[in-house]
Amino acid sequence: MMKKKSISTSRASLVFFLCQMISALDVPLDLSQPPTITQQSPKDYIVDPRENIVIQCEAKGKPPPSFSWTRNGTHFDIDKDAQVTMKPNSGTLVINIMNGGKAEAYEGVYQCTARNERGAAISNNIIIRPSRSPLWTKEKLEPNQVREGDSLVLHCRPPVGLPPPIIFWMDNAFQRLPQSERVSQGLNGDLYFSNVQPEDTREDYICYARFNHTQTIQQKQPISVKVFSMDSLNDTIAANLSDTDIYAKPVTERQPVLLTPTGSTSTKVELRGNVLLLECIAAGLPTPVIRWIKEGGELPANRTFFENFKKTLKIIDVSEADSGNYKCIARNTLGSAHHVISVTVKAAPYWITAPRNLVLSPGEHGTLICRANGNPKPSISWLANGVPIAIAPEDPSRRVDGDTIIFSHVQERSSSVYQCNASNEYGYLLSNAFVNVLAEPPRILTPANKLYQVIADSPALLNCAYFGSPKPEIEWFKGVKGSILRDSEYVFHDNGTLEIPVAQKDSTGTYTCVARNELGKTQNEVRLEVKDPTMIIKQPEYKVIQRYGQVSFECIIKHDSTLVPMVIWLKDNDELPDDERFLVGKDNLTIMNVTDKDDGTYTCIVNTTLDSVSASAVLTVVARPNPPFDLELTGQLERSIELSWIPGDENNSPITNFVIEYEDGLHEPGVWHYQTEVPGTQTTVQLKLSPYVNYSFRVIAVNEIGRSQPSEPSEQYLTKSANPDENPSNVQGIGSEPDNLVITWESLKGFQSNGPGLQYKVSWRQKDVDDEWTSVIVANVSKYIVSGTPTFVPYEIKVQALNDLGYAPEPSEVIGHSGEDLPMVAPGNVQVYVINSTLAKVNWDPVPLKTVRGHLQGYKVYYWKVQSLSRRSRRHVEKKILTFRGNKTFGMLPGLEPYSSYKLNVRVVNGKGEGPASPDKVFKTPEGVPSSPSFLKITNPTLDSLTLEWGSPTHPNGVLTSYILKFQPINNTHELGPLVEIRIPANESSLILKNLNYSTRYKFYFHAQTSVGSGNQITEEAVTIMDEAMASRQVDIATQGWFIGLMCAVALLILILLIVCFIRRNKGGKYPVKEKEDAHADPEIQPMKEDDGTFGEYSDAEDHKPLKKGSRTPSDRTVKKEDSDDSLVDYGEGVNGQFNEDGSFIGQYSGKKEKEPAEGNESSEAPSPVNAMNSFV
C-alpha cells in the first residue's frame, strides 16, 4: 500500500488548491447521476422594485433535470402567470416588473426542485422582498436654544427602509458637518454634543438617509441650533432688568453623564461571525474621554477596533468566547461615569460535517453524515428527494441513525438525493447529497502529458483526478520503467494527487499515474520541470537623502534562464508617481531632485510565471528645519522677558537647538545679533535685556542638515533708560611721541549705552607722584592725547561711561606710559669666546634701565666676516643680525666659517628703536677640515700609466698640509684589489702614476688635509689601455671568410639541435644532448664554455650591480659563476672595448665621479662578434 499523509500546517498554502481538486472529483457528466444544485439566489433576497426579479436555480444531472417551484409552501404554476417565465434548460425564474408587474405582488418564500430519474434536489427557501425607501414624515421642528456648555442631542429618526439606510449629517452646501470628540454621530444616526460652544450656532443641521438599493437619498428638514454665551446672556439681562442682581451663572464645568446608552447596565445579543458594535456617548465639560474594558478578561487582540473617537467598540468575527460584560468609562477632570453592557453571542447553525455525495458500486456499503452546531444547538432532519424521510418510499438498503444514514448492499435502485436540514431559532442550513450507484471501470480526468512547472525547494502537486466505481486505487511511477513510488519524500492524497513537498532539480521528469479497480485499469503521464528560484542578490538599502538630492535603489536579480522576470517598483505599496523624476533602470530605481513627497517605502517586486520575490527599503528625505513661527513675548520686565515659539517641521532630522537673535531697532536697525541658544526640546526662554534698547527677536532652528530660515520677527519691546552698567574695555595708555600719552579704549555699543547722551570721562595722573587726577569728558571718540608729558613715565589711567541719567560704576585703573625715545647707552664689557671653528659665544653687560627710555625689548648682535685667514682676498661684507629677547646678557653665534676673522657689536632695543652700538669687537675662528678638492681628472691613459689632475678645495678652512691619494684595481667581477696610498705635497696639482697593469680598471680616492684633519674625499675610476698590435690582429681574424663561415655553421647546428630537443621533449622522451654535441663537435670551437654553452659574450642582466666595497679577487683567480656574465663595458663612457689573447680587457676610460650604480644610469656596449671570438684563440 502507498503511504498517505494529511496536509500539514506548514503546507496550509496548498489547502485551497487541494480543496479545489477534491470538489472537482465529481461524477463525469456522461454517466447517470442524480441532480445537483449548482447555483441559487440568497436566502434573504432584497430586490429593486423598479427592475425585473431574477430568482436563480441552476442544476446538473444525467439525464438533465427538470425544474419546478413552490411559493409559500404550495406549487407555483408559472404557466398561469404571464409575467413569470423560466429560462430554457434552467430553473431560473424571471418575473417581469418593468412591463407592468408590481414587485410587492411577488413577495414570498420560493423553493426550487430539480428532478430526474435518479432523484430530486431542492434549493434553500428564498425570501423575496422588494426594497423600500419611504419619505420622511412631516414634522414641525422647533429651534434648539441651548446655553453654552450644555449637552445637546439632535434626533434624526429616519424612516424605516429595507434595507436600513445609511445616515450622515450635512449642511445646506452639502458639506459634511465636522465631528470630533465633542460632536459625533451615534449608531442610531442622532447627532450628539457633549457640550455646545458658540460656534455650534447654525440653522442648517440636516440629516440625510441614503438607500443603497434604490440609489436614493432622503433629506430631513433643517434643524436650527442657537447657543447663548454667558457674556451675551448677561448683557441681555442687564439691558432688560436694570438695577437688579439677577445674572446668568457663568459656564461651569460638569462631570460626565452618559447620553447613550441610558442607565448603568444594558444587554446586547449578537450572532456568531457577525461584527459586534457597542457604543457609549457622554456629556460633560471638559469633553469626556471614553475608555473600554472587558470585565474579567481582555479585549480580543487583532479583532478589536475603536471608532468614532473611541466612543464605539468594534469586535469583528465574534464567537461565543466574546460573551461577557463590557464596561465603558467616560472621564474628565471632574469625575467619571460608566455603563456595563452584557453581551451574549448566539449562533445560527453552522456545519461541522456537511453531507457529501456518495458514489457506490452495487453491493457496497456507505454512510451520509450531517453534523452541525449552533446556540441553541440545532435540530437535524433528513429528507429524501425533497420529501421527509419518514414518509419517503422505503429503501431496504438504508437506515437512519440520528445525523447519519447508513447504506448497506446498495443496488442501482438505491440512487437518490438526500437533504439534511439543521435549524434553530436564528436560522437553518440545508445541504443536498446524492447516493449514486454505478459500476464503472477507472478513468483519469487529468489531461494527458500535462506539464507542471515549480520552483526548486517548493512543493510540487501532480494531479491525477480520477473516477471509477468501485473507487479505484492510485499508484504513481517515475520514468518509463520506474518502480512504484513509496519513499517518505512523497505524499499521496486521497484525490489522487502526488505531492513532492520539497521539489529539487533531480525531481524533474515524467510521472505516471495508474488507476485500477476490479473492472479495469488505466494510466496517464504528466511531466514535471523544476526551475531555479528567483532571487534578489542585491537588495535596495535604507537611504537618507537631503532634499533636492539624487538617490538610487539597487535591485539586482538572479533567475532561471527559462523564466522571464518582470520587475515592478512600488512606493508605499502603490504604483510609482507619474513623474519624470523617477527613472526605472534595468537594475535600479533613481529619483532625481528628491522632494519631501518622495519620503516612504520603496519595494522592488520581481514576478515570474512561477514565483515572486520582493525587497523593500525606506527613503527618508531630510532637510533643514522649517522656521519657527508664532513668536510671543510675555512676562515683560525692565531687564528680562520670556520668549516662546512653535517649532516648524523638523523634516525628518531632529532639531538639536534653537538660536535666538535680536535686533536693536533704536541703534542698529536691520542688524541681527546673537543672543543665546537653547536645546531643541525647549520652546521658551527667559532673556536678559539691556536698558534703552528697542528689541525684536527671531528664532532659528538647527538640525544636523543645517539652520532654518529665521522666523518672522517678534513684536518690538523698548526697555527703559538707565545709567550705564559697564565702562569701556581695553583701556590703554601708550605714547606715540616722547612727550605725549595716547589714551585709547573700545567704545560701548549702542545697546550698552543704557540711555541717550553717551559720553566718556577720561582721567589720568602720573604714577608714584602725589598729583591730582586730571579729567576731561569726550563724546563719539575712542582716543584722547595728553601732551607735554615727560619721556616714558608711568601714568594711572581710567575711562568712565556716562549718559543723561548718570555715571557707570567706578572704573578700574590701568597703568600706561608716555612716549618712548631711543636708548641712550650702548652695552659695555662685550666679550667673545670662540668655542670651535664654527661657533662662538658673546657676553655683555646690561645697560641701566633708566637709559633705555622705553620698554626693553632685548639686544641685537651685529656680526660680519672681515676676511678668510687662508686667503687674503677681500669680498663683499654681509652683516648678520641675531636678536636676543628680554634682559639677556649673552648669546651664541652659530654658522661661522673656520679660519676667518670676524667683527661684532651689540645694541640695546626698545619700542622706539635701537640704541648706539658698542665698539666693534674682533675675533678669529681656528682652522677646520677642508672641503673636498674642487675636481679630479684622469687623463693620458697608457699601457702602464695614468695622469691625475686636481683643483684645490673651494673652502680650505685653514692651511693645507698635503693631499692623500688612495687607489686600487678592480677585476672583471667588480672585486677590489689591494689599496695603495700616496701623500702628495699641498702645492702640487697633478701626478703621473706609473707601473700600472695594462687594460686594468682602477678606482681612486682623493682628499685634502689641514693640521686639524682630513676633508671629504672625491673618487674617480679609469682604465689603462691594451697593446695596439694585438688589437690589430684581432681585427684581422675577425674579417677572415673562414671565420664567418664557421660561425654560421655553428649557429645552424645549434638551431637544429634545439629544434630536435624541443620535439623530443614534447613527446615525453629524453634526448642525450651532450652525446650529440660530442659527436658533431667542431675543433675550432672547443674553447667554448661547456658550462653554459655561450660564446663568451657578457650579458647585461647584472649591469647595474653596485661595486662590492672591500671585496678582493680570490687567490686562485677564479670568477664567481653568478657574476661571470657582467660586462666590463659598464665602467667606460662610450669606448669600444676589446679582448686580447688571454681574455683581458683593453680600453680607455674617461675620468668620472663615483656614483651609486643602483639606478642603472651608466651605459654599456655589448662586445662585437670579433671580440667574442678572441676568447677562443
pLDDT for residue 870: 77
Backbone Cα Rg of the chain: 59
Q: What residues contact residue 109 under an 8 Å CB cut-off, 6+ apart? A: 71, 72, 73, 125, 126, 127, 128
Long-range contacts, stretch 387-396, CB < 8 angstroms, 24+ apart: 389/418
The pLDDT tens digits of the residues spanning 307-331 come to 999 999 999 999 999 999 999 999 9
pLDDT tens, residue by residue, 424-436: 999 999 999 999 9
Kindly tell me if the per-residue pLDDT of 1103 is higher than 90.
no
Q: Is the pLDDT of residue 1166 over 90?
A: no
Report which of residues 750 and 773 the model is more confident about: 773
Q: Is the pLDDT of residue 1088 over 50?
A: no
pLDDT band at 1110 (very low <50, low <70, confident <90, very high): very low
Q: Return the residue matching grid coordinates 512676562.
A: 635
Percentages of the chain per state (helix, strand, coil), in multiples of 5: 10, 45, 45
Say whether 778 sits in a helix, a strand or coil. strand
Name 1102's bridge partners: none
Interatomic CA distance for residues 228 and 278, integer angstroms: 33
Which class for 393: exposed (0-12), middle (13-18), buried (19 or more C-beta within 10 A)? Answer: exposed
**More confident site: 750 or 144:** 144
- What average pLDDT does this structure show over 549-569? 95
* DSSP 8-state assignment for residue 63: S
Is the pLDDT score of 1124 beyond 70? no
Asked if omega into 627 is within 30° of 0 (cis), the reply is no
Residue 571, C-alpha cell as written in the block? 512606493
Residue 1107, pLDDT score: 36
Burial of 1078 (0-12, 13-18, 19+ CB in 10 A): exposed
Phi, psi of 199 (to 5 degrees): -70, -10
Q: Print burial letters for 924-960: b (CB count within 10 Å at least 16), e (below 16).
A: ebbbbbbbbbeebebeebeeeebbbebebbebbbbeb
The CA distances from residue 564 to 19, 115, 670, in Å, are 30, 51, 67
What value does the mean pLDDT take over residues 1128-1137?
33
pLDDT digits (tens, 9 = 90+) for 388-397: 999 999 999 9
DSSP-assigned states of every residue in 708-769 = PPPPPP---EEPPP---S---EEEEEE-SSTTEEEEEEEPPPGGGS-SSS-EEEEEEEETTS
pLDDT tens track for 928-982: 999 999 999 999 999 899 999 999 998 899 899 999 999 999 988 788 889 999 9
C-beta separation of 151 from 287 below 8 A: no
d(CA 691, CA 760): 18
For 42-53, write each residue's pLDDT tens digit.
Answer: 999 999 988 999
State the Cα–Cα distance between residues 83 and 76, nearest whole angstrom: 13
Mean pLDDT of 150-154: 95
Give 1083 or 149, the one with higher predicted confidence: 149
pLDDT digits 0-9 by tens, 51-102: 999 999 999 999 999 999 999 999 999 999 989 999 999 999 999 998 877 8
pTM, to two decimals: 0.53
Residue 1096 pLDDT: 34
In whole numbers, what is the pLDDT of the chain averaged over residues? 85
Counted residue by residue, the chain has a size of 1177
pLDDT higher than 80, residue 610? yes
- Provide the pairing of β-strand 265-271 with 335-353: parallel
Query: Above 70 in pLDDT, residue 1170?
Result: no
What is the per-residue pLDDT for 874? Answer: 58
Alpha carbon 830 to chain centroid, angstroms: 75
**What is the spatial distance between Cα 738 and Cα 810, in angstroms, rounded to a whole number?**
30
Dig out the grid coordinates for 256 from the structure. 460626565
pLDDT digits over 230-241, tens only? 666 555 555 555
pLDDT above 90 as % of the chain: 72
